[in-house]
Chain A
Amino acid sequence: MMAHIFSFEWLHIRKSGAFWGTVIVLPLLIGFSLFLGSERINQQEETIAGIVAEETSFYDGMRTQLEAIERGDAEVDAWFQNPANPLVLGQFGQAGRHIFLQPKPLAPLAAGQLDILPYYGKVTLTTMEPLRDNALENPFMQVSGSFDFAFVLVWLVPLFIIVMGYNVISSERESGTYALLQSQPVSIRSILIQKMIFRFLLVFGIIILSLLVWSVLFGIDLFNIQGLQLIAAISLYAAFWFALCVLFNLFRTSSAVNAVGLTGLWVFFLLIIPSVISLIVTSLHPVPSRALWITEQRTIQQSVQAEGDAIFDTWVVDHPEEFVEGDTPQFYNTWIRRFVWAQATEEREREAERQFEEPRESQAQLASRLRVFSPPMTLQAWLEQKAGTDTDRLRSLENEMRAFQQEWQEFFLPRFQRLEFFTSDELADIPAPQ
């Protein structure tokens, strides 16, 4: 019976404009979004490779120079040119390491928050600077958002499904063939379900087929467990919208009413619920102004400066083994203090930064709970998570940078504090992020 209905459906549907529109437009949209996604990843990988190469050549250069000095082939005049000096290796100019959040395999599918939050930054002994690749971008781009696969899937696919499914039964009623259907030995309901399953398979097939073909073309690897999960998520999402279409076709409403109702639901899930959620979340957990934060930061820096001597003296008392007293070079006296002050500033700033972190985290938690009311939002969040472009992952950059900075400090600071310079062999041990 099913085969029968399917073959009739096929004869029927291949005459419809909606079907051919879907067959032509949907693969093109998916292709374009994947093309942009793979371009984005290529660019990221290029940036990462370029920076890593620069970093390597800097430290290679330091090593060559140090070897030359050790052989007696070269000399340095000033302390800040000496490649054996921990400050030169860990703090100044090009010294330091970049920390990257490497793109995940599914990264081309969702740009997520990448246009707002940085995916890499630079760490030195005292600084952790997230680098915004796109600080010069036209902000109108961020307003309108990325044309990525997530957009096509979450926003547009439901509309194609609505166009394919809004009038499956209602059109039979309107064209007068409903009575004919009723005279069949099969119930209308079962015909409706099977017609919908057929259409679901068509749309699902178009999406999966074009996703796979374009992915192979653009070098996106989907033949793994993550690809399977993605396909499962797509089928669930498509099934959700087809189920809504079935629901509307069960009522004896006209095609036009169905179209209005289904579009209304689309608007409800994609525009109204998200805007209400963002309203609730930001009203319940407001984040204070960054304008004030900037002046606060400066107050903190000034307070550390004002208490500078006291802070340093306390530190010396607590860490006698980390300080060389007596006739030490000028740069040592300057920088040993700066490190202590930088640490004090950092601690106080982190404390003050909580006023942003806490509401931000509460916002995120509440939003993730409220998101269940909107399948599109849930899917979007899931896709971003799989792509590694969600807010949580991008924010983890800061923790990774902090963790690495600790490693960096543990390597360089004790040597600086004891005024022990490096030998060229030791340069091979300079920490690098995994």
Chain B
Amino acid sequence: MNIYSIARNQLTQLVRDKVVASLGLLILLLLGVSIITGISYYSEMSEQHHQAEELARIQWEKQGDKNPHSAAHYGTFAFKPVTVLSVFEPGVDRYTGVSIFLEGHRQNFAAYSLAEDKDSSRRFAELTPAFIFAYLFPLFIILAGYRSITAEKESGMYRFLKSQGVSTGQLIAGKTFGLWAVILLIYIPFLLIGLIFLIITGAIVDSLAGFLFMGFVWLLYFGVVAHITITVSALAKSSGSSMVVLLSLWILSTLLVPRFITNVASGVHPVPNTSEFYQAVRTDLLEGIDGHNPYSEHSVAFRDSVLAAHGVDDVADLPFNFRGMMLQEGEEFEKRIYDHHFAKIDEIHRAQNRLFSISSFLSPTIAARMSSMAVAGTDMHAFNHFSAEAEAYRIELVRELNMDLKINAVGDRAAGYTAGADFFAQNIAFTYERPESVFVSSTQLMPLFISLLWFVASILILAVAARKKEEV
């Protein structure tokens, strides 16, 4: 009963507090604006994305009669999907390229990130729900809760309550529930708006799980902030020092640790720069078959082995087009080299991500941010999943082209062989499908796990603070 009255009293006080109320309204307003602009941006982008996809396919099919291997050089594009949940959590989306050029012989980086075209003021802050939740909402919670216990002490209410038989534990519990109520007062409308938006855009089926997970992740984060706020308020000597301590923690978690750890990570696990990377690839490529150079040592050896296997002396006597075969052989070799080098980069990114995960033991913000990006499908892993699918498609498409050359460019048709619109229209098309499950990689679970740990730990310290006070 005591706990309930305290909680209700706390809620009433906070709602009546002009500063808290107006800040809460401001946050709701910002959330509303960010969702509305996010939606219009999303629909525009996905519209353009679909157009681009269609156009790219038409361009592929209507590329005119040409040697299928020339078509492999002509290439086509894979476009990064625009996900609905990026409206709530854009993650690394703006910093990764929107499209990958798919061609024979090489794996390209995704090109044209949105960040390149945008004004740099966005680097201070960008109005998205994720930004508001990561930075502003914790400040709101701190503001609403920093004096919840200290003010009782400063006004003398604390002793009065004690004499009424209220224990410190009950006071702390009541204050915590009161603060939770205020948080939910803002958060639940947001969740409802989000759900309505998902229903309107028709994305509810595919993204409901991700959205709910995201909602849960942020709720854990708010809980951590709320519990720490009450704990600090219970232990602080004055409201002023409670505020200063909480603000320092906020700065540490949202500003210092994230910037510190990312800059340290790139120093500890450096990625090679682009030219070094390509240099290393080129060096390795010399060690195998070059599909375009029939005179290289490896190509000659390969040719001789094929001739021997078929018991003929000249490639013209083979039952298939040898050039098509060699191009495919070269392609597969090149793919192994690229895969090998990209795997190394991936390993470096994983090592960096591990550091980020470790640093989230110091910063619940990092844990929350990484988890929300993971469930929104806007983190590095989601991007890698897309790149991997695009690469799988590329190698299959190139194989189709080389096989056509190998099988059909024989006999009289070998000289000046071309494939036409019929053939190109039959070629495999790229449609990216996001994995069914919310998580695409088990490493994504780590930050979520740390978020949960933070939540549990924050309850524990709250309990310890309650007990400690009891002894006094």
A298 on the interface (CB 8 Å rule)? yes
Bound-state CA distance A215–B17 (Å) is 48
- Contact partner of A279 (CB less than 8 A), chosen from B37, B55, B95, is B37
Minimal Cβ-Cβ distance residue in B for A298: B59
B169 on the interface (CB 8 Å rule)? no
With contacts A270-B124, A291-B99 taken as known, whether A356 is within 8 angstroms of B240 at the C-beta atoms is no
Structural contact, A380 and B124, CB atoms closer than 8 A: yes
Structural contact, A151 and B122, CB atoms closer than 8 A: no
- Contact partner of A267 (CB less than 8 A), chosen from B44, B48, B136, B239, is B136
Structural contact, B119 and A131, CB atoms closer than 8 A: no
With contacts A139-B383, A159-B247 taken as known, whether A390 is within 8 angstroms of B120 at the C-beta atoms is yes
By secondary structure, the A interface counts as helix
User: Total interface residues on B, using CB and 8 Å?
Assistant: 82
A102 to chain B, nearest CB (A): 17
| Stretch of A176-184, A282-290, A409-417 on the interface side | A282-290
Structural contact, B274 and A39, CB atoms closer than 8 A: no
B181 on the interface (CB 8 Å rule)? no
A141 on the interface (CB 8 Å rule)? yes
Most buried by A among B51, B119, B126: B119
With contacts A163-B244, A275-B127 taken as known, whether A136 is within 8 angstroms of B277 at the C-beta atoms is yes
Bound-state CA distance A363–B266 (Å) is 31
Structural contact, B262 and A364, CB atoms closer than 8 A: no
Minimal Cβ-Cβ distance residue in B for A364: B119
Question: Which chain A residues border B277 with CB–CB below 8 Å?
Answer: 136
Most buried by B among A141, A167, A293: A141
Structural contact, A275 and B48, CB atoms closer than 8 A: no
A294 on the interface (CB 8 Å rule)? yes
Q: Which of A273-321 contact B (CB under 8 A)?
A: 274-279, 281-283, 286-295, 298-299, 302
B166 on the interface (CB 8 Å rule)? no
- Contact partner of A289 (CB less than 8 A), chosen from B98, B111, B353, is B98
| Stretch of A75-83, A241-249, A253-261, A324-332 on the interface side | A253-261
Minimal Cβ-Cβ distance residue in B for A171: B240
Question: Which chain A residues border B105 with CB–CB below 8 Å?
Answer: none
What mask results when residues 29 to 53 of chain B are scored 1 for a CB within 8 Å of chain A, else 0? 0100100010000001100110111
Structural contact, B122 and A282, CB atoms closer than 8 A: yes
B77 on the interface (CB 8 Å rule)? yes
- Contact partner of A134 (CB less than 8 A), chosen from B52, B77, B117, B273, is B273
Question: Which chain A residues border B126 with CB–CB below 8 Å?
Answer: 275, 278
A399 on the interface (CB 8 Å rule)? no
With contacts A256-B240, A289-B52 taken as known, whether A279 is within 8 angstroms of B59 at the C-beta atoms is no
A106 on the interface (CB 8 Å rule)? no
B360 to chain A, nearest CB (A): 12
Bound-state CA distance A276–B127 (Å) is 7
B19 on the interface (CB 8 Å rule)? yes
Minimal Cβ-Cβ distance residue in A for B123: A145
Structural contact, B117 and A360, CB atoms closer than 8 A: yes
| Stretch of B156-164, B253-261, B331-339, B421-429 on the interface side | B253-261
Minimal Cβ-Cβ distance residue in A for B259: A147
Question: Which chain B residues border A112 with CB–CB below 8 Å?
Answer: 120
- Contact partner of A146 (CB less than 8 A), chosen from B118, B125, B263, B370, is B263
Question: Which chain B residues border A282 with CB–CB below 8 Å?
Answer: 118-119, 122
B420 on the interface (CB 8 Å rule)? no
With contacts A138-B380, A391-B120 taken as known, whether A271 is within 8 angstroms of B125 at the C-beta atoms is yes
A132 on the interface (CB 8 Å rule)? yes
With contacts A147-B263, A289-B48, A291-B48 taken as known, whether A274 is within 8 angstroms of B121 at the C-beta atoms is yes
Structural contact, A256 and B147, CB atoms closer than 8 A: yes
What mask results when residues 243 to 278 of chain B are scored 1 for a CB within 8 Å of chain A, else 0? 110010001000110111011011100011111010
Question: Which chain A residues border B349 with CB–CB below 8 Å?
Answer: 138
Bound-state CA distance A346–B146 (Å) is 61
A233 on the interface (CB 8 Å rule)? no
Structural contact, A116 and B52, CB atoms closer than 8 A: no
Structural contact, A141 and B262, CB atoms closer than 8 A: yes
Q: Which of A368-404 contact B (CB under 8 A)?
A: 370-371, 376-377, 380, 384, 390-391
- Contact partner of A144 (CB less than 8 A), chosen from B118, B136, B259, is B259
With contacts A140-B262, A146-B259, A276-B127 taken as known, whether A259 is within 8 angstroms of B273 at the C-beta atoms is no
Bound-state CA distance A51–B131 (Å) is 40
B116 on the interface (CB 8 Å rule)? yes
Question: Which chain B residues border A360 with CB–CB below 8 Å?
Answer: 117, 119
Structural contact, A134 and B240, CB atoms closer than 8 A: no
Question: Which chain A residues border B109 with CB–CB below 8 Å?
Answer: 132, 135-136
Structural contact, B98 and A136, CB atoms closer than 8 A: no
With contacts A278-B122, A380-B124 taken as known, whether A263 is within 8 angstroms of B139 at the C-beta atoms is yes
What mask results when residues 127 to 142 of chain B are scored 1 for a CB within 8 Å of chain A, else 0? 1000100011001000
With contacts A278-B126, A288-B48 taken as known, whether A367 is within 8 angstroms of B121 at the C-beta atoms is yes
Structural contact, A138 and B59, CB atoms closer than 8 A: no
With contacts A291-B52, A356-B117 taken as known, whether A131 is within 8 angstroms of B274 at the C-beta atoms is yes
Bound-state CA distance A275–B119 (Å) is 12
B180 on the interface (CB 8 Å rule)? no
A47 on the interface (CB 8 Å rule)? yes
Structural contact, B273 and A281, CB atoms closer than 8 A: no
Question: Which chain B residues border A209 with CB–CB below 8 Å?
Answer: none
Minimal Cβ-Cβ distance residue in B for A280: B121
What mask results when residues 132 to 169 of chain A are scored 1 for a CB within 8 Å of chain B, else 0? 11111111111111110001000110010001001100
B149 to chain A, nearest CB (A): 13
Structural contact, A293 and B262, CB atoms closer than 8 A: no
Minimal Cβ-Cβ distance residue in B for A274: B124
Structural contact, A133 and B274, CB atoms closer than 8 A: yes
Bound-state CA distance A1–B192 (Å) is 62
Structural contact, A290 and B122, CB atoms closer than 8 A: no
Q: Which of B77-120 contact A (CB under 8 A)?
A: 77, 79, 91-92, 95-96, 98-99, 101, 109, 111-120
Structural contact, A136 and B266, CB atoms closer than 8 A: no
Minimal Cβ-Cβ distance residue in A for B271: A136
B356 on the interface (CB 8 Å rule)? yes
Minimal Cβ-Cβ distance residue in B for A271: B125
Most buried by B among A146, A294, A370: A294
Most buried by A among B33, B125, B255: B125
A230 on the interface (CB 8 Å rule)? no
Structural contact, A292 and B51, CB atoms closer than 8 A: yes
Q: What are 9 contact pairs spanning A and B, CB under 8 A?
A: A142-B95, A255-B238, A256-B146, A288-B48, A289-B45, A290-B117, A294-B77, A295-B55, A367-B119
Shortest Cβ-Cβ A-B pairs, 7 listed: A274-B124, A289-B48, A291-B52, A139-B92, A290-B112, A255-B240, A275-B125
Q: Which residues of B does A touch, CB under 8 Å?
A: 19, 30, 33, 37, 44-45, 48-49, 51-53, 55-56, 59, 77, 79, 91-92, 95-96, 98-99, 101, 109, 111-127, 131, 135-136, 139, 143, 146-147, 238-240, 242-244, 247, 251, 255-256, 258-260, 262-263, 265-267, 271-275, 277, 345, 348-349, 352-353, 356, 370, 379-380, 383
Q: Which residues of A does B touch, CB under 8 Å?
A: 18, 32, 36, 39, 47, 51, 112-113, 116-117, 131-147, 151, 155-156, 159, 163, 166-167, 171, 174, 254-256, 259-260, 263, 267, 270-272, 274-279, 281-283, 286-295, 298-299, 302, 356, 360, 363-364, 367, 370-371, 376-377, 380, 384, 390-391
Additional A-B contacts beyond A289-B98, A291-B53 (4; CB < 8 A): A146-B263, A281-B121, A290-B99, A384-B120
